[in-house]
Amino acid sequence: MGKPTGFLDYERETSAAESPKSRIKHFNEFHEHLPMEKQRLQGARCMDCGVPFCQAGMNICGMTSGCPLHNLVPEWNDLVYMGNWREAYNRLHKTNNFPEFTSRVCPALCENACTCGLNGDPVSSKENEYAIIENAYKQGYAAAKPPQVRTGKTVAVIGSGPSGLAVADQLNRRGHKVTVFERSDRVGGLLMYGIPNMKLEKHVIDRKIKIMEEEGITFVTGADIGKNMKAEKILKDFDRVVLACGSSNPRDISAPGRDAKGIYFAVDFLTRNTKSLLDSDFADKAYVETKDKHVVIIGGGDTGNDCVGTSIRHGCKSVTQIEMMPKAPDQRAEDNPWPEWPKICKTDYGQEEAIAVFGHDPRIYEATVKEFIKDKNGNLKAVKIVKLNWSKDPESGRMKMEEIPGSEQILDCDVLIIAAGFLGSQKYVTDAFKVETDARSNVKTAEGSFATNVERVYTAGDMHTGQSLVVKAIRQGRECAREVDLSLMGYTNQVVQ
């Protein structure tokens, strides 16, 4: 350890966020990061804890504790303190293909498992990661490094989200010729259109894609396999195929009036917004207009929060989030000890902005929509919600919800956004490749494997496991790439920590 007493000597310090009322005037990232010398002191706070849960990535009580990529967090934290930024980048890149993405959008599972956080503030590992990768770009460490030898093997990756990009990056490093097919007009999948610009500016993605192209990866956009391209041709032209198309079926809400005009899925709402921003800075008016409108969002998770922030930036009259679950406690409960993932209430950037603009938290807990109310022209004008009561079923032991009689409430609503999660892969893609799916419509494989029932076809990411985190998708991509490489070469030098 460079500074054994660093966690005692220095307080946790993180980047300053632009004030809510200021940042809602734009769609850019809004954190002012620490200067390098101050960031070094944050690296010094990483203690010699003996058992670094931060990099464990293990499952505890059904939740992930620590980094699923098994990032060598204590090593590069120490290197940050020592000022050895190049070696810090080498250690970080050893396990993480895309720290420029995860340092912005990962919920920092490493920090929530940090030993320093047991009796104080955790090490700011996520911001140390950001400093490492941005300095690497600035100094040229992150420049393209094409493989010196090619194997003559070809691989098609269907989908350019985090898992698909990880597969492509790993297999290209090995020397295989990789082509990535993306059905959208821009590369990035979930990263490009599912995550708003204020969380991940898109030039960050473009910067990495340019490097991957310089390293020899080919990207083909507008390629919708199963619609405008045939799966048979892909199978004929490539030695191996990896399906990494994400978990693309949004979960719907069934209630009277569902056919009202003005109801959108969150993925469509966010996609249209980002595409309009990138195409024309909103001049084309191709986004969903929320200016001077009452917005209701069904879903209290990260995606729902992104919809809150987006709606406020366009000048909505009001915004409300409907959450079925009870409000989580503000502090860890006794039955949720460290190093478990902390099941506590998080007020994210969108909710902070709603509080600043409207004077109250936008979330209504333990409620659901009972009816969509239309005007005479079929436009949505209001929603009827009802409060819920959660109780344990004495027979099964499971929690069940029941409506509370007489608790109905009418909310003005011109735009309703459904952010209730996703339900597996899209059928036209799985049908095109004739791969089997499970009961949740995820692509089926043997346990611990990424090979589908179709010879030479593999799968990775949300399409394989269901909706999850970007960092887990990258891990899936790395593991899948190792299996593909082994099948092509008979052995593999792909390292998955």
- How does pLDDT run across 244-278, given as a tens digit for each residue? 999 988 999 999 999 999 999 999 999 999 999 99
pLDDT tops 90 at residue 205: yes
The predicted pLDDT at position 113 comes to: 96
- How does pLDDT run across 324-375, given as a tens digit for each residue? 999 999 999 999 999 999 999 999 999 999 999 999 999 999 999 999 999 9
Give the residues across from 181 on adjacent strands: 158, 220
- How does pLDDT run across 222-238, given as a tens digit for each residue? 999 999 999 999 999 99
How would residue 208 be classed by pLDDT, with cut points 50, 70 and 90? Answer: very high
Amino acid making up residue 192: M
- How does pLDDT run across 385-416, given as a tens digit for each residue? 999 999 988 888 888 899 999 999 999 999 99
- How does pLDDT run across 8-24, given as a tens digit for each residue? 999 999 999 999 999 99
The predicted pLDDT at position 221 comes to: 98
The predicted pLDDT at position 48 comes to: 84
**b vs e for 274-294, b when ≥16 Cβ sit within 10 Å of the residue's Cβ?**
bbbbbeeeeeeeebbebeebb
Fold of 6-139: Fumarate Reductase Iron-sulfur Protein; Chain B, domain 2 (1.10.1060)
3-state SS of the chain is CCCCCHHHHCCCCCCEECCHHHHCCCCCCCEECCCHHHHHHHHHCCCCCCCCHHHCCEEECCEEECCCCCCCHHHHHHHHHHCCHHHHHHHHHHHCCCHHHHHHHCCCHHHHCCHHHCCCCCCCHHHHHHHHHHHHHHHCCCCCCCCCCCCCCEEEEECCCHHHHHHHHHHHHHCCEEEEEECCCCCCCHHHHHCCCCCCCHHHHHHHHHHHHHCCCEEEECCCECCCECHHHHHHHCCEEEECCCCCCECCCCCCCCCCECEEEHHHHHHHHHHHHHHHCCCCCCCCCCCCCEEEEECCCHHHHHHHHHHHHCCCCEEEEEECCCCCCCCCCCCCCCCCCCCCCCCCHHHHHHHHHHCCCCEEECEEEEEEEECCCCEEEEEEEEEEEEEECCCCCCEEEEECCCCCEEEECCEEEECCCECCCCHHHHHHHCCCECCCCCECCCCCCCECCCCCEEECCHHHHCCCCHHHHHHHHHHHHHHHHHHHHCCCCCCCC
Q: Do domains 154-248+423-489 and 263-418 have the same CATH topology?
A: yes
Mean pLDDT of the region 214-219: 98
For the chain, give every domain's residue range.
6-139, 154-248+423-489, 263-418
How would residue 496 be classed by pLDDT, with cut points 50, 70 and 90? Answer: confident
The predicted pLDDT at position 71 comes to: 96
CA distances from 98 to 62, 229, 247, 465, 480 (A): 26, 29, 20, 20, 16
Homologous superfamily (CATH) for 154-248+423-489: FAD/NAD(P)-binding domain (3.50.50.60)
**b vs e for 12-35, b when ≥16 Cβ sit within 10 Å of the residue's Cβ?**
beeeeebebeebbeebebbbeebe
- How does pLDDT run across 91-125, given as a tens digit for each residue? 999 999 999 999 999 999 999 999 999 889 999 99
- How does pLDDT run across 154-176, given as a tens digit for each residue? 999 999 999 999 999 999 999 99
How would residue 493 be classed by pLDDT, with cut points 50, 70 and 90? Answer: confident
Task: State the average pLDDT for the chain.
Answer: 96
Mean pLDDT of the region 24-31: 98
The predicted pLDDT at position 497 comes to: 61
The predicted pLDDT at position 495 comes to: 72
The structure tokens 């992104």 sit at 306
CB atoms near residue 346 (< 10 Å): 13
pTM, two decimals, is 0.96
Fold of 263-418: FAD/NAD(P)-binding domain (3.50.50)
The predicted pLDDT at position 45 comes to: 96
CB atoms near residue 206 (< 10 Å): 15
The predicted pLDDT at position 1 comes to: 64
Tell me the two tokens of residue 334: 């006794």
How would you class 392 by CB atoms within 10 Å of its CB: exposed for 0-12, middle for 13-18, buried for 19 or more? exposed
Q: 422 and 265 in contact (C-beta within 8 Å)?
A: no
The predicted pLDDT at position 22 comes to: 98
Tell me the two tokens of residue 51: 């058992």
Mean pLDDT of the region 135-156: 97
